[in-house]
Chains A and B, each alone.
Chain A
């Protein structure tokens, strides 16, 4: 089976992102990485093709530096990459992103599209469902476990009080949560092999899309820095620690 995994290059998840004058996240010239959430989707894709055969193709949209995200996934074991890179895509919103990804997925046969549940930097959390609707695919979202049998995708989806089991006929799309199996670390061999793997570069024109159709529909018009919570008191644990905490509970009238 052929699996396409949607991946995103995000600024260093440990660092503090910066905004430029147009209130866009600075992505060029910054240390970045494959979104940690997407690694779970890559892992899920690799496990499926290990069981069923086939290939995992990574698809990303982003600036030149986004190739680092592809390289990471390829070194984990994915077979090929597709990189949509076009200056007109800077500042793309969720709908433009979904349209580009859907157009790129459509170019070749596939059985399953996988994605993380949301990006670490934008956190919109709806792009995969929009892609699924554009491709008229059933989507099984927020999976902590996935399997495929007889052309049917089966997932476990956590809920308030437990979990649901959801089935969808292939071809389908699924999003994978951080509760899914831990992503593997690239081996040295994997890292070396990644350099030889094919990465296709596409521009908007290759996808039959025009920049006008993808114009952003959201503008940041103002920015306020949140009032910092006044820092309280920090004490070393000691004899009267419990008393201090319970005093606070009493003051809050929750005792």
Chain B
């Protein structure tokens, strides 16, 4: 089997969960499996990356990798590809990964496939199209390595019990690069969307931004997370980090509660893997009702407070 690289996104808090999902899949596609971890937290992440299947972790903690929007990372990765000739490089579909993958493609002249949900070989991948109504199997041709971007939560991460050797990666020379000059962050509250067992998600049907407080309250009661449709993110009601769907996050909770969301294919791609779906919408023809285990035709602003009251009364 050909060697496979996983571009493992890392933070000082550890590797992103999707890095471990990709490593788990990579073990069935190639040998050896190597992770490429660039930026602060890279070296510290090597132990975990090894435990999920990387026999080598190419690592460098230099902040230039996290501050240049994939420019330095793509050049380093291209250098590693040249030297080690993997058949496949796996990425997630995150914004940061897309920056690196797009540039790598220009440097290697390889084929690139995005939004994959599965691979059966280093040159065979599947992707859903038309909002998941159809899945196509795609043969990837042309020079190695094939570049495939996989949607998060496509695979379950399973440890291999392995350990990794850490190999240093030189910082590339190059310019002009973009630079991150400011970082504005708010402390996170509650579980991450991808890890929450319950996701309460809101759309235009909530009528105005302030009504998201209702969803925060319901999600808080259920120890869940709040998500949103693209329409309300674009309208500025909630930050981009809430967005679920094609251009946002993919979630697979035990229960997904869609409140005032019509169910455009763009959104459905990100949530149809939920175990159970509850939809509340005024419009009886909303496409979300075709997916819902329980659909409620009615006003979200009436129904959600009733649900909150019912939960409180059952808990006494």
Does A pair with B?
Answer: yes
CA distance A241 to B181 in the complex (A): 50
B46, chain A: closest CB distance, angstroms: 23
Which of the four size classes fits the interface of chain A?
A: 35 or more
Which of the four size classes fits the interface of chain B?
A: 35 or more
CA distance A193 to B105 in the complex (A): 39
Contact B292 A234 (CB under 8 A): yes
Is A167 engaged at the interface, CB distance under 8 Å to the other chain?
yes
Partner of A130 from B102, B141, B230, B307 at Cβ < 8 Å: B102
Contact A220 B138 (CB under 8 A): yes
Contact A16 B241 (CB under 8 A): no
Name B271-310 residues within 8 Å CB distance of A: 272, 275-278, 280, 284, 289-299, 302-303, 306-307, 309-310
Contact B246 A166 (CB under 8 A): no
Partner of B299 from A139, A224, A237 at Cβ < 8 Å: A237
Contact A255 B314 (CB under 8 A): yes
Is A208 engaged at the interface, CB distance under 8 Å to the other chain?
no
Contact A141 B95 (CB under 8 A): yes
B175, chain A: closest CB distance, angstroms: 8
Is A138 engaged at the interface, CB distance under 8 Å to the other chain?
yes
Partner of B294 from A125, A245, A253 at Cβ < 8 Å: A245
Contact A94 B179 (CB under 8 A): no
Known: A128-B102, A229-B291, A237-B298. A162 touches B179 (CB 8 A): no
Is A226 engaged at the interface, CB distance under 8 Å to the other chain?
yes
Contact B103 A129 (CB under 8 A): yes
Contact A236 B141 (CB under 8 A): no
Is B109 engaged at the interface, CB distance under 8 Å to the other chain?
yes
B141, chain A: closest CB distance, angstroms: 5
Nearest B residue to A234 via CB reads B295
Contact A220 B107 (CB under 8 A): no
Name B151-195 residues within 8 Å CB distance of A: 176-188
CA distance A169 to B178 in the complex (A): 7
Known: A124-B114, A217-B140, A218-B141. A249 touches B178 (CB 8 A): no
CA distance A94 to B98 in the complex (A): 13
What is the 8 Å Cβ interface bit string for chain A, positions 215-248, against chain B (1 contact, 0 not)? Answer: 0011111111110110111111110011111101
What is the 8 Å Cβ interface bit string for chain B, positions 119-155, against chain A (1 contact, 0 not)? Answer: 0000000001010111111111110000001000000
Of B26-34, B35-43, B69-77, the one contacting chain A is: B69-77
Complex contacts, A188 vs chain B, CB 8 Å: none
Name A132-190 residues within 8 Å CB distance of B: 132-134, 138-142, 144, 157-169, 172, 177-179
Residue numbers of A with Cβ under 8 A of B are: 16-17, 19, 23, 93-95, 98, 117-118, 123-134, 138-142, 144, 157-169, 172, 177-179, 217-226, 228-229, 231-238, 241-246, 248-250, 252-255
3 closest Cβ pairs, A-B complex: A237-B298, A129-B102, A126-B102
